[in-house]
């Protein structure tokens, strides 16, 4: 599946309602689609909650850059975390959303 197909799958799964998801480190957040855009936010009723205080949009370009590293990250490639951090501060959330949509 390429990045565009994955983004379509994510939009399809999140189109009806907000989802509570967890990062690999166990932090809870919400993901949802509004007016054709992907957003993340803190899941205040869950613990431990991430530190996102207000809705944060995930631009398509950022998603695609992070998605391009997903397989390396999922397979535990050495040094990939540093590369991902340079691309996006939202990478952990994007990876959790990708895992949800698979």
- Residue 38 CA to its chain's centroid (Å): 9
CB atoms within 10 A of CB 75: 8
Distances (CA, A) of 41 to 4, 6, 56: 23, 20, 6
- Dihedral sign from CA coordinates of 53, 35, 101, 89: negative
Write down the pLDDT at residue 24: 92
Instruction: Please answer whether residues 34 and 58 qualify as being in contact, where contact means their C-beta atoms are separated by less than 8 angstroms.
Output: no
Write down the pLDDT at residue 87: 86
Q: Is residue 16 scored above 80 in pLDDT?
A: no
The conformation of residue 49, written as its DSSP 8-state character, comes to B
Distance CA 51, CA 67 (A): 22
Q: Where are the domains of the chain?
A: 3-101
Q: What's the chain's length in residues?
A: 102
| Most confident region among 14-18, 23-27, 41-45 by mean pLDDT | 23-27
């Amino acid at each position: 599946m390429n990045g565009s197909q994955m983004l379509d799958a994510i939009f399809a799964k999140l189109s009806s309602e907000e989802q509570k998801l967890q990062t690999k480190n166990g932090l809870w957040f919400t993901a949802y689609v509004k007016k054709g855009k992907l957003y993340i936010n803190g899941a205040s009723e869950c613990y431990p909650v991430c530190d996102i205080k207000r809705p944060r949009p995930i631009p398509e370009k950022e998603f695609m850059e992070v998605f391009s590293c997903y397989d390396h990250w999922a397979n535990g490639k050495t040094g990939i975390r540093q590369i991902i951090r340079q691309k996006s501060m939202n990478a952990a959330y994007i990876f959790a959303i990708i895992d949800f949509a698979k």
